């Protein structure tokens, strides 16, 4: 006690200041103890936050591994896709996230990706999509068939004529398919440039220009199978064009 008294007397302040000092020391110590227990350990190391939170977020597991990992094993698919219109479409967009597959390929297989919905999610028509992006109307574009029946998703190409005219002109194709003209290819009457498939409005297909085109099969003198109905081109139809009365895609209709 004597030592404390000596120190007390030795301090060069008035008594009331010394007592105030004790209260200050008490509160500051208390505040330091409370702060030590309440503030998380790494708080303030890098800024006004817990530095450990950054590390715990950075350590979260990933789901999508990235295309470069896929093509390490799937070399052939990668090579085909790199040169195709789908080169920017990552594998995992259609096949799903591949992290588990990468860990154990045999136990965790990915989606085979054969459904139409995987294609229509991008390629169904919406007025808001950018001009030039290839779009179809899923309800009329071969609704019963899977897309991969005609299109290779790793190397999609604009389809070829004539079987694929119906891809866009589905209504005409379906009408024609039950008519007497079913066996005629579209290109028999419509001269279609290759460009039309890529840029439809830049190269509009041709149409028959006159009666003589139909007469090529249907006139009395035509060199065509005898079951084809014949008319006298000079007297039939009063000089009207054939398609003013007959619908060429369904000629038996009146």
Partner 1 sequence: MDRREMEISRREFFQKAALSGTLLFIIGPKVKDSVAQVTESGETITHHYAMGIQVDKCIGCGRCVNGCKIENNVPREPFFYRTWIERYVITVDGDVVVDSPDGGISGFPETKEKDAILRSFFIPKLCNHCANPPCVQVCPVGATFSTEEGVVLVDKDYCIGCRYCIQACPYGARFLNPETKTADKCTFCYHRLAKGLVPACVEVCPTRARIFGEIGVRSSQLTRFMRFNELQVLKPDLNTEPRVFYANLDGAVK
Contact residues for partner 1 (CB under 8 A)?
12, 14, 40, 43-50, 53-54, 56-67, 86, 88-90, 92-93, 97, 121-122, 124, 126-130, 133
Q: For 49-104, what is the HEC assignment?
A: CEHHHHHHHHCCCCCCCCHHHHHHHCHHHHHHHHCCCCCCCCHHHHHCCCHHHHHC
- In the bound state with partner 1, the residue whose beta carbon lies nearer, of 124 and 140, is 124
Contact 77, 99 (CB under 8 A): no
For the bound state, the minimum distance from the C-beta of residue 227 to partner 1, rounded and expressed in Å, comes to 44
Contact 46, 54 (CB under 8 A): yes
For the bound state, the minimum distance from the C-beta of residue 21 to partner 1, rounded and expressed in Å, comes to 15
- In the bound state with partner 1, the residue whose beta carbon lies nearer, of 143 and 206, is 143
Count Cβ atoms within 10 A of the Cβ of residue 92 and give its class: 0-12 exposed, 13-18 middle, 19 or more buried. buried
- In the bound state with partner 1, the residue whose beta carbon lies nearer, of 90 and 142, is 90
- C-alpha 7/C-alpha 126 separation (Å) is 87
Beta partners for 43? Answer: 50
For the bound state, the minimum distance from the C-beta of residue 164 to partner 1, rounded and expressed in Å, comes to 22
For the bound state, the minimum distance from the C-beta of residue 114 to partner 1, rounded and expressed in Å, comes to 17
Q: Return the exposure string of 152-173: e unless at least 16 CB atoms fall within 10 Å of the residue's CB, then b.
A: ebbebeeeebeebbbbbbbeeb
Q: What φ, ψ does residue 7 adopt, rounded to 5°?
A: -60, -45
For the bound state, the minimum distance from the C-beta of residue 56 to partner 1, rounded and expressed in Å, comes to 8
- In the bound state with partner 1, the residue whose beta carbon lies nearer, of 122 and 178, is 122
- In the bound state with partner 1, the residue whose beta carbon lies nearer, of 118 and 167, is 118
For the bound state, the minimum distance from the C-beta of residue 30 to partner 1, rounded and expressed in Å, comes to 21
- In the bound state with partner 1, the residue whose beta carbon lies nearer, of 87 and 230, is 87
Instruction: Using alpha carbons, select from 198, 193, 189, 204 the residue that is nearest to residue 243.
Output: 189
């Amino acid at each position: 006690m004597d030592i404390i008294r000596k120190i007390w007397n030795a301090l060069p302040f008035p008594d009331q200041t010394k007592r105030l000092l004790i209260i200050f020391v008490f509160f500051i110590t208390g505040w330091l103890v409370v702060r030590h227990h309440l503030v998380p350990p790494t708080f303030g190391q890098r800024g006004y936050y817990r530095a450990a939170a950054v590390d715990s977020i950075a350590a979260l597991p990933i789901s999508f591994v990235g295309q470069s990992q896929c093509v390490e094993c799937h070399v052939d698919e990668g090579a085909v896709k790199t040169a195709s219109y789908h080169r920017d479409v990552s594998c995992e967009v259609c096949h799903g996230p591949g992290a588990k597959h990468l860990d154990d390929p045999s136990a965790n297989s990915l989606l085979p990706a054969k459904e139409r919905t995987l294609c229509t999610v991008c390629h169904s028509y919406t007025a808001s999509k950018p001009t030039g992006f290839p779009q179809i109307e899923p309800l009329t574009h071969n609704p019963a068939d899977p897309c991969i029946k005609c299109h290779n998703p790793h190397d999609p190409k604009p389809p070829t004529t004539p079987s694929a005219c119906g891809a866009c002109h589905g209504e005409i194709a379906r009408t024609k398919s039950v008519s007497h003209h079913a066996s005629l290819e579209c290109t028999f009457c419509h001269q279609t440039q290759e460009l039309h498939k890529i840029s439809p409005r830049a190269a509009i297909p041709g149409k028959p220009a006159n009666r003589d085109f139909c007469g090529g099969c249907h006139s009395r003198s035509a060199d065509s199978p005898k079951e084809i109905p014949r008319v006298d081109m000079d007297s039939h139809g009063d000089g009207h064009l054939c398609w003013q009365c007959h619908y060429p895609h369904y000629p038996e209709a009146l």
